[in-house]
Structure 1
Amino acid sequence: MKNVLHWKQYSLSGLLLCAITLSQAQDIHFSQFFEAPLLRNPSLAGIFTGDIRVQGVYRDQWNSFTNAYRTGSLNAEYKMPVGRGDDFMTMGGQILFDKAGTVGLTTTYLLPALNYHKSLSNEKTMYLSLGFMGGMVRKSIDASKMTTDNQYGSGGFDPTAPNGETFTTPNFNTWDASVGMSFNTTFGERQANSMFLGAAYHHLNRPKNSFYRNATIDLQPKYVFSGGITFGVDEYSYFIIQADHSIQGSFSETIGGALYSYKLGDDPENALYTIHAGAFLRWKDALIPVIKLDRYPMSIALSYDVNVSQLKTASQGRGGIEISLSWISFLDRDNSSRDKVLCPRF
């Protein structure tokens, strides 16, 4: 589902009108939402075992039967201790690119992020994190590919006829901001299990969202509630469960599921590979099988949406394919989090 601009939808063709009707005013999303943490909540930046993380996700949705959506995400985070205590700070950023429809509705985000992790315990990992993210958003369309009712007459379609649209330029810039808070901790024998809970408020400045320069048209705030838990089955295997619930205006979305993870090699503490397999469900929209492979410091994951929504007949059950790549590592420095007993992680 996509974030859609305010324009005369009755006069435009080739923009997947059925899909737009169902998804109007909703944000870009990923099925591998767990691989794009800053889009979920800026306070999830830095909650990993390592000093630095770089993640990329690419999504190709419905392009097997129409010119639909192509979306890419890239985020990077750098975590460092603060002072002599157990607090940490994470600096990072999110780049997002999305192109949709025949007229190439293109949205680009450049969003720096900052997150502070406050330690709540001297005995185990327990952190309360407050994160902020904000920056520039640019939107554009290719007006030369636009067709409208005005260009159809008794003689059929006339591409040279005025299209009747009144926006002055096919692009505009705006600003966007979000804030979030999360709690994460470890539990169980040897503190081997972990969990987190978080809540985020996106578009808190209500950025403009109109090619017609209509100041009354803005992007509605979005609330995202997230949770996750990792718990061990034995020394070689464990489960990862994650879920998000989002609310934006009159729309809501719930996605959740689980991965079963198995370590390969003779030493479970330093596994050569870890294989993850499982599925997620975007409620009333898609069933999403996922497979992922870890080989320190790299991870790669592949997922596919099986459409179960009202569009399943038109799409023949086909949804979106996603691939993600992640790199997480420690840095050789004096204040590396590898040397800290307590560190925010999930």
Structure 2
Amino acid sequence: MRNLLFLMAMLFWSFYNSPNIFAQDIHFSSIHASPVHLNPAMTGMFNGGNTRFIGISRSQWNTFTNGFKTISGSIDTKLLHAGSDAFFGGGLQLFTDKAGDLDFKSTFVGGSMSFVKGLSRKSNNYIALGVQAAYYGNSFDQTKMVGFDEETSILFGDVASNINYFDLSVGVGWYYTFNDDNYYYLGASMFHINTPNVSFFDTFNSNQSQANLPGHNLFRKLTIHGGANLRMADNITIQPSFIFFDQGPHREINAGSYFKIQKQKRHRRQTQEYAFYFGAWVRFYQEANYSGIDAVIPSIRADFNNTTISLSFDVNISDLRVVSAGAGGPELSVIKVLGSSNPSRKKSRVKCPGF
């Protein structure tokens, strides 16, 4: 197992240090509202059932510009149990994102696979490996290029209104559970291993070398994330978490915590748990020549009947607040976990962390 961990670390390091060029991904403020988008190793990593549905709607900076509008949906499941302490997971994710005066649109369809395996006989220490293959489509409305220099096509050549490309990503995760109420988890993922070409330029003027143009390959993105669930009292739990992004010249850290108040209720001889959360995260950023705090993100959440609903709002506190009036934008997510009547699946001892 040590050799496996060492191999994964070396793979991440080699992918990360290879040269690549410009671009940056979309992301969500609610750190674990879209686990498969965060790390393919988290595919199928949930409790309370065998299939998880997730829907997310996010808008940003619409108060002062034609900002981002993102809709995402995913489904993941435990495909196959490999003994009592391991399983294979599979998932499918889709999202569409639209922004800007040219209606720049990104569409994503991805499939992911994971393998979760226990590392101890006590079934409290686990490692997860995951891979994701995806197909992207980017487009913009050329009819809205009013006022742009007509010589743009002479300089750069023909500009396509849409492009499509394949993308490959990997992830690894680890978690340790003391009991149902206390556990830790840590993960890392590397996206865009193949650094796909995302340029809209089909041809180039003979007087302009392609090598002198801005880079048009997508940066590889390193993501490191982690957190814990710590029971403080009978009905009080804290859930600190963080996420770190590194993509080209862009670095970002989100850190904060939920405070969870939970209550149990007997219904038809079964115990049902209801929970309410409130908390906040702070988003730090670092660019090539400047850094600072971009936003504070308050969030509320409710759990009931294997359903999770969360709402967060980005409050800009950086210089951007001058034009945004502090209103970054809202994000709403809904998660539903469905159970299974298959008795063989209930024999698994795998206990996943809750996010």
How far 1:183 moved relative to its partner?
Answer: 0.4
Pick the aligned partner of 1:179 from 170, 175, 186: 170
Partner in structure 1 of residue 247 of structure 2: 248
Q: Check whether the contact 1:148–1:163 (CA below 8 A) recurs between aligned residues.
A: no
1:170–1:340 distance in 2 versus 1, CA, 3 Å: same
Aligned to 1:29: 27
How far, CA to CA, are the matches of 1:142 and 1:256 in structure 2?
Answer: 37
Aligned position for 1:169: 160
| Distance in 2 of aligned mates of 1:37 and 1:110 | 15
* Aligned-partner Cα distance in 2 for 1:117–1:220: 28
Q: Deviations over 1:253-273 (max 9, x none)?
A: 101111111113446993452
CA positional deviation for 1:85: 3.6
Structure 1 residues 3-14: aligned runs within 5 Å:
none
Equivalent position to 2:302, from 293, 299, 304: 293
Name 1:342's counterpart in structure 2.
Answer: 350
The whole-number CA distance in structure 1 between the counterparts of 2:279 and 2:348 is: 32
Q: How many percent of aligned residue pairs carry the same amino acid?
A: 30
- Which residue of the partner structure matches residue 321 of structure 1? 330
What displacement does 1:313 show?
0.5
Give, in angstroms, the shift of residue 150 of structure 1: 2.8
Q: CA deviation at 1:163?
A: 7.5
1:7-86 equivalences in 2 (<5 Å): 25-49=23-47, 50-86=49-85
* Cα RMSD for the two superposed structures: 2.2
Q: Aligned AA for 2:271? A: N
Aligned to 2:126: 127
CA deviations over 1:145-201 (Å, ceiling 9, x no partner): 1124436xxxxxxxxx997674343001101110010001202xx453111111111
What are structure 1's unaligned runs of at least 5 residues? 1-23, 152-160
Specify every segment of 5 or more residues in structure 2 that has no aligned partner in the other structure, as ranges. Answer: 1-21, 204-209, 285-292
Is the Cα contact below 8 Å between 1:147 and 1:163 reproduced in 2?
A: no
Q: Distance in 1 between matches of 2:152 and 2:123?
A: 67
**TM-score (normalizing by structure 1):** 0.84
Task: Give the TM-score normalised by structure 2.
Answer: 0.82
| Matched ranges for 1:177-256 at <5 A | 177-187=168-178, 190=179, 192-213=181-202, 217-256=216-255
- Once the two structures are superposed, residues 216-256 of structure 1 have per-residue CA deviations (whole angstroms, 9 ceiling, x without a partner) of 62101010011010011123221111111010111101011
After TM superposition, give the deviation of residue 25 of structure 1 in Å: 2.2
Q: Distance in 2 between matches of 1:334 and 1:267?
A: 23
Task: For 1:34 and 1:323, locate their aligned partners in 2 and report how far apart those are by CA, in whole Å.
Answer: 12
Q: Is the 8 A contact 1:293 1:299 kept in 2?
A: yes
Tell me which residue corresponds to 1:154.
none
Q: Relative to structure 2, which stretch is displaced further, 123-132 or 215-224?
A: 215-224
Q: Number of matched residues?
A: 311
Give the superposition deviation at 1:81: 4.3
Q: Is this contact kept in 2: 1:263–1:271, CA < 8 A?
A: no
Q: Equivalents in 2 of 1:235, 1:88: separation in Å?
A: 32
Q: Distance in 2 between matches of 1:90 and 1:162?
A: 48
Q: Which moved more, 1:230-239 or 1:219-228?
A: 230-239
Question: Contact (CA 8 Å) 2:43, 2:91: kept in 1 or not?
Answer: yes
Q: Which residue of 2 aligns with 1:104?
A: 103
- In the other structure, the counterpart of 1:16 is none
- Separation in structure 2 between the aligned mates of residue 102 and residue 225 of structure 1, nearest angstrom: 33
Structure 1 residue 298, shift from structure 2 partner: 1.3
AA paired with 1:196? Y
CA contact (8 A) 1:72 1:98 kept: yes
User: By how many angstroms is 1:76 displaced?
Assistant: 1.2
